[in-house]
Amino acid sequence: MNAYHSFLNELINENHSTFRKFENLKWINPYQAIEYEEERDELIHSFSEKVKYEFKDTKPWINQISKGCRLCGEGEWSCLFITGRCNANCFYCPAPQDSDDLPTAQKLEFEDPRIYADFINHFGFKGCSFSGGEPLLAFDRALHFLKTIRENCSPELYIWMYTNGILASEDKFKALADAGINEVRFDIGATNYNLKGLKKAGGIIPNITVEIPAVPEELDRMKELIPQLWEAGVTNLNLHQLRLTQHNVQKIADHGYTYLHGEQPAILESELAALDIIRFVDENNLGIGVNYCNFQYKNRFQKAGYRSKVASRVFSENETVTENGFIRKIHVPVDPSVKPDANGFIETPGLFRTISADDFLKNHQQYSYAVIEYSGIILHNQKNKQPLFELLNINNEVYPFERGKPCNPIILKKEQFPRFIALLKEKGENIPDEPDLFTLWKHEKIEFGRRNYF
């Protein structure tokens, strides 16, 4: 069994272990996987040339895509969870929504909006959003953050808000528009697909989007609603893939869905519904933009984007930020007679020196082996400071950070160098069979395309 298939089997075991208490979950089996892959491929092959693919073929869309969605895929977006409370009760919600926490972004707390504005400026984000919970439950707080960001950040910063629309009013939308909001996204699934709140934004908010999970039972209703959405001023329909979490499992298990294995379980029928809606819009020449935001896209690009943003501000000489957002170091022995030993490398680093990637590419033939080390930067608030943490100062706000180790150092022998060099130069489509090279590939590259169902 090659390394990639071993990795997928590990994910299967982790999924089953996590949800072992829920015996009624219908996990996909190999025979179903073949059948449903054919159904998925049939949908995709039916698309016209109007359907485009972005981000290593993980995100299909038609007609147009929101600027915010593009910034998300490019790693240029910061999402601020303005509150943890929500006034809806969606069966598919992946996380608890019952506490009015401090605003957080990337697991960092931001009580002061000016400090968040400095955070945006320091990392050069080109977009930010307000999410929750339900931001309209903390409207004054959200408006204060919006105004502060507009006063202190680039005028080109693209800003949007998520809402279920339950507390929507023209006055609120006028205040948001006056403060410089670019887009509002409505989860109409939270209101049983009622468009009353959404219509209050018409003619006030520059860009109106509907962003909902693709709920299989609502496929026909969504097709019927699309012309009404367009008429109400909605330019984009963003469809998420439903996923299974510890929070929603008890509610979602009653729906009889088929669960796909992965880094987190996702729902097969949700993907097929999203692709069917794209086909519907395509075949009927409808003008609304539809973007399918599936789990594979989010898991790969959102994580890599933030890792890259942070790493790009703290990496040092002879370090490289990989496509997947990790910091890579290449170490070679000071004394060529030293035998390769990962434990020895960890315990006595003086035996090695760190060289740049360019140095390795030019001079690798003179080395008998190399040790490849990866780290991921984890930022913390000041209150979580630990003695060994490094410090990042952003306009006098100090963020302790650690270099998390996603894997053990990898020892490469000289005969493996050509395959490692080829891996560095490729775009990531070719997945290595060898375990060590596969580990390197995972930290170097963002996986390409759609996985087979498993």
Domains, the chain, in order of start with CATH, read 22-304 (3.20.20.70), 315-444 (no CATH)
Reported as a pLDDT band with limits 50, 70 and 90, residue 323 is very high
Rounded mean pLDDT, 107-131: 98
Amino acid at 112: D
DSSP labels for 85-152?
Answer: E-S---TT--S--EE-PPPEETTEE-SSHHHHHHHHHHHT-SEEEEESS-GGGGHHHHHHHHHHHHHH
**pLDDT, tens only, 218-230:** 999 999 999 999 9
Specify the pLDDT at position 346: 57
Reported as a pLDDT band with limits 50, 70 and 90, residue 111 is very high
Cα distances from 289 to residues 50, 69, 148, 205, 285, in angstroms, run 11, 12, 31, 17, 11
Rounded mean pLDDT, 397-405: 96
Burial class from Cβ neighbours inside 10 Å (0-12, 13-18, 19+) for residue 17 reads: exposed
**pLDDT, tens only, 255-308:** 999 999 999 999 999 999 999 999 999 999 999 999 999 999 999 999 999 999
Specify the pLDDT at position 21: 96
Rounded mean pLDDT, 93-113: 94
Specify the pLDDT at position 345: 63
Specify the pLDDT at position 256: 97
CA atoms within 13 A on the CB side of 326: 21
Specify the pLDDT at position 383: 87
Task: Provide the mean pLDDT of the chain.
Answer: 96
Specify the pLDDT at position 344: 55
Long-range contacts of 309-316 (CB under 8 A, 24+ apart): 309/75, 309/76, 309/123, 309/124, 309/125, 310/123, 310/377, 310/379, 310/401, 311/376, 311/377, 313/122, 313/123, 313/392, 314/377, 314/390, 314/392, 314/401
% of residues, the chain, pLDDT over 70: 98
Spatial separation of the C-alpha atoms in residues 327 and 357, rounded to whole Å: 12
Specify the pLDDT at position 445: 98
**pLDDT, tens only, 231-253:** 999 999 999 999 999 999 999 99
Spatial separation of the C-alpha atoms in residues 118 and 30, rounded to whole Å: 50
Residue 336 has pLDDT above 80, yes or no: no
Residue 332 has pLDDT above 80, yes or no: yes
Phi, psi of 399 (to 5 degrees): -115, 110
Specify the pLDDT at position 32: 98
Burial class from Cβ neighbours inside 10 Å (0-12, 13-18, 19+) for residue 429 reads: exposed
Is 57 strand, coil or helix?
Answer: coil
Q: Which of 163-172, 260-269, 331-340 has the lowest mean pLDDT?
A: 331-340
